[in-house]
Structure 1
Amino acid sequence: MGKRDTLGDLTDHLFAELERLGDESLTPEELGAEIERSKAISSIAQTVINNANVVLKAAMFQDDRMDANGKLPRMLTDGQE
């Protein structure tokens, strides 16, 4: 299996969790555990989305700036200077 690190993959994970939460055969204990799992997944997903927003804003800034030769801070790039 290859890397799964796109926003599309994240969407797949979120819908898979939604399906698990809707499983009516879960016992109350299993459902409680699944709810805790979903909270962790949701928290991580929000962090990934926030990070993607920063990357998008940096790309938009880079496209819109007047000085085409200026450099972005290294932390906002793929490590290239």
Structure 2
Amino acid sequence: MKNKLGDLNNHLFAQLERLSEEQMSGEQIEQEVKRTEAIVSVADQIVGNAELQLKAAKLFAEHGQAVLPMLPKIGKSDA
């Protein structure tokens, strides 16, 4: 899967459109609100991850390879 932040933006706007449909029953609105809460929760994690990657890139741009030993080895174990 090769999603981009722009895809996330599209998903968020699509959900906003679903929430604004006037023909929905109370039960359907409740279901869409639950879906929205789940989407927002995942979106927050994605945005947080992107922010972390940007901070790491800025550190590397400012300090070059000298900073690499100080960055955590995310996704790798010491064992």
> What interval of TM-score do these two structures reach, taking the shorter chain for normalisation?
0.7 to 0.9
- Structure 1 letter corresponding to 2:22: E
Runs of 4+ in 1 over 3 A off after TM superposition: none
Query: Residue 48 of structure 2 corresponds to which residue in structure 1?
Result: 50
CA RMSD of aligned residues (A): 1.7
> Which structure has more helix as a fraction of its residues?
2
- Structure 2 letter corresponding to 1:69: Q
Query: Residue 24 of structure 2 corresponds to which residue in structure 1?
Result: 26
- Structure 2 letter corresponding to 1:25: Q
- Structure 2 letter corresponding to 1:43: S
Query: Residue 12 of structure 1 corresponds to which residue in structure 2?
Result: 10
Among the aligned pairs, what percent are the same residue?
Answer: 38
In the alignment, structure 1 segments of 5+ residues that lack a partner are: none
Provide the secondary structure at the position in 1 that maps to 2:33: helix
TM superposition score normalised by structure 1 = 0.81
From 16, 21, 38, the counterpart of 1:40: 38
Alignment length (residue pairs):
73
In the alignment, structure 2 segments of 5+ residues that lack a partner are: none
